[in-house]
A and B are shown apart, each in its own frame.
Chain A
Amino acid sequence: MSGGRITALKPAPFGYSAPASLAEALAVLAEVGEHAKVLAGGQSLLPLLSMRLAAPRHLVDINRVPGLDRVEIVDGSVRVGALVRHTDLERHEGAAAAQPLLRQALRLVGHPTIRNRGTCVGSIAHADPAAELPGVLVVLGGRVEASTAWGSRQVPAAEFFLSPLETALRPGELATSVSFPVAGPRTGTAFVELSRRRGDYALVGVAAVVELAPDTSISSARVGLVSVGPTPLLVDLSEVLVGRPGGARELAAAAALALEHAEPEADIHASAQYRARLVEVLTTRALAQALANASHEEAA
């Protein structure tokens, strides 16, 4: 929130629609498009409205749209509808089994009370570069379903995040779901972050995915870094880890490679150098945890 100038803590006036169906929601969005914001959980949007840092002319409240609150495991993905609250996905046993990184990351999103209202899709569409779920989407290579009255398209994670708080969603489009690929066999994941207070946005966060070959050497490894760039960053670490067991020296090399891709900057909470150091430390920790989880998978 640093940077903007707060002037109040009550929203400015806006127009409001509460469509009762997806078709209606898309029709309204088609009409008010550019000047509209979609309201789902509102846990990021409401503070911006109240501080008058955002003043959209129109809010389209999708909370009454049926069918958007489903978590489905289809076509090798965990598909999460636009009204699925963080808490619901966090508690979804099927999703946790299919892609453990989801629960690992969701436990770090804000506080439980925020997770009760905030939505996963909303968090991704908000595109805060310090948020956890965008990092998860990127490291897993997921996609966002963007719908309009005329149809829908799938936007890959790599193309979705453009800059802080800016995505590839076009005016009038509604992010109706996001899909996270399920974990393959012998795969371990971990989400490690450091924040000043529990529940704060991370100073640095690292989502790690490590796959093992049948001989238990590493067959692929990648991390998603949050809070060290304008968007969540994907770093493929395979070149230093593939074919190796993942010992301390190899993890350190991987961490160094991750840092090469990071763009840490200073803010009021941390210097750029400190963030850089955290990229290394947390990458090492995340990879070690992911490896341990992968080995556990292997053993199971």
Chain B
Amino acid sequence: MRAQADDGLPAGPAAGEQTREVTLRVNGVGHRLRLPVRRLLSDALRHDLERTGTHVGCEHGVCGACTVLLEGRPVRSCLILAVSVDGQDITTVEGLAAPDGGLHPVQQAFRERHGLQCGFCTPGFLLTTVAFLRETPQPSEEQAREAISGNLCRCTGYQNILASVLRAAELSAGREEQA
């Protein structure tokens, strides 16, 4: 064993590693912090800001669990450097529910239609669906299937996720009528 005594162990980058001060705007709140330039956005959200709702399932951009909205569009947060999105608006799963805790229609639909089991991939599906329904409020089943076809789920076989997306469209329409 080689052990180094290092009292205090301040969090931070390796000596000589480049850092940069950035503002991460997450769910409407700005966070100013200094990050190593290689920090992935997914890690910055999860470990620097401790917003752990965004999950990482592969860290090579295939599974979609880490999907967040960047300026309203779904992106893979594991394929973006945190320093690259300085000042831009990021929405994570923590930002979906209303301030009073009321579920977003998409969250509500996933609950009603059993669109999740272990829940690990769920945040990615939720954010993908939120953005999709904004652009396609009344999707066909085929459109809904295509919309979620960039996200992996190992539990559900997607059947109830698909049903949830379609249900979310109904719920969203209902809310708009009420409004």
Contact status B79-A43, CB under 8 Å: yes
Q: Answer whether A12 and B60 are a contact pair too, CB < 8 Å, given A39-B84, A113-B76, A114-B76.
A: no
Using CB atoms, name the residue of chain A closest to B20: A16
Chain B proximity of A58: nearest CB distance (Å): 10
Q: Is A253 an interface residue (CB 8 A)?
A: no
Q: What is the CA–CA distance of A117 and B131 in the complex, to the nearest angstrom?
A: 14
Distance A111 CA – B146 CA, assembled complex (angstroms):
9
Hey, which chain A residues are within 8 Å of B84, CB to CB?
18, 39, 42, 61, 63
B81 interfacial by beta-carbon distance below 8 Å = yes
Contact B37 A50 (CB under 8 A): no
B48 located at the interface, meaning its Cβ lies under 8 Å from any Cβ of chain A in the complex: no
A45 (CB) vs chain B CBs: closest residue: B79
B36: CB under 8 A from chain A?
yes
Chain A residue nearest to B61 in the complex (CB): A47
Contact in complex: B75, A13 (CB < 8 Å): no
Residue A14 is within 8 A (CB to CB) of chain B in the complex: yes
| B12-32 with Cβ < 8 A to chain A | 14, 17-18, 20
State whether A113 touches B64 (Cβ < 8 A).
Answer: yes
Minimum CB–CB distance from B140 to chain A (whole Å) comes to 16
Q: Is A213 an interface residue (CB 8 A)?
A: no
**Contact present for A47 and B79 (CB under 8 Å):** yes
Task: Please state if B80 and A46 are interface contacts (CB–CB under 8 Å).
Answer: yes
The answer for the CA separation of A16 and B13 in the assembled complex, in Å, is 14
Q: Which residues of B contact A87 (CB under 8 A)?
A: 73
Residues of B near A61 (CB, < 8 A) are 81, 83-84
Residues of A within 8 A of B74 (CB): 112-113, 116
Bound Cα distance from A96 to B150, whole angstroms: 24
Q: Residue on A with the closest CB to B60?
A: A47
Q: Is the CB of A43 within 8 A of B61?
A: yes
B76 closest partner in A (C-beta):
A113
Task: Tell me the complex Cα distance, A9–B66, Å.
Answer: 14
What separation, in Å, do the CA atoms of A16 and B83 have in the docked complex? Answer: 9
Given A113-B67, A113-B128, is A13 in contact with B14 using a C-beta cutoff of 8 Å?
Answer: yes
User: What band does the interface of chain B fall in when counting residues whose beta carbon is under 8 Å from A?
Assistant: 20 to 34
Point out the residue from B59, B78, B79, B150 that lies within 8 Å of A199, measured CB to CB.
Answer: B150
B149 CB–A CB distance under 8 Å: yes
Over the window 141-174 of chain B, the binary record of Cβ atoms lying under 8 Å from chain A Cβ atoms (1 yes, 0 no) is 0000011011100000000000000000000000
Is chain B's interface secondary structure helix, strand, loop, or mixed overall?
Answer: mixed
Q: Which of A93-114 contact B (CB under 8 A)?
A: 110-114
Contacts of A46 in B (CB 8 A): 40, 61, 78-81
- Which residues in B have their C-beta under 8 angstroms from that of A15? 18, 37
8 Å CB interface, A109-165 against B: 110-114, 116-117
Closest to B41 in A: A46
Chain A residues, CB < 8 A from B86: 18
A11 located at the interface, meaning its Cβ lies under 8 Å from any Cβ of chain B in the complex: yes
Cα distance, A61 to B37, chains bound together (Å): 11
What are the interface flags for A45-62 relative to B under an 8 Å C-beta threshold, 1 for contact and 0 otherwise?
Answer: 011011100000001010
Distance of A257 Cα from B115 Cα, bound (Å): 49
Q: Mark B41-67, 1 if CB is under 8 A from A, else 0.
A: 001000000000000001111001001
B113 contact set on A, CB distance < 8 A: none
A51 to B78, CA, bound (A): 12
List B124-138 residues whose CB lies under 8 Å from chain A. Answer: 128
Q: List the 8 shortest-distance A-B pairs measured between CB atoms, nearest first.
A: A111-B150, A16-B37, A9-B59, A47-B60, A46-B79, A116-B73, A11-B38, A117-B75
19 A-B pairs with CB atoms under 8 Å apart are A9-B59, A10-B40, A10-B43, A12-B38, A16-B38, A42-B84, A46-B61, A46-B78, A46-B81, A47-B61, A47-B79, A59-B37, A61-B81, A111-B64, A112-B147, A112-B150, A113-B150, A114-B79, A116-B73
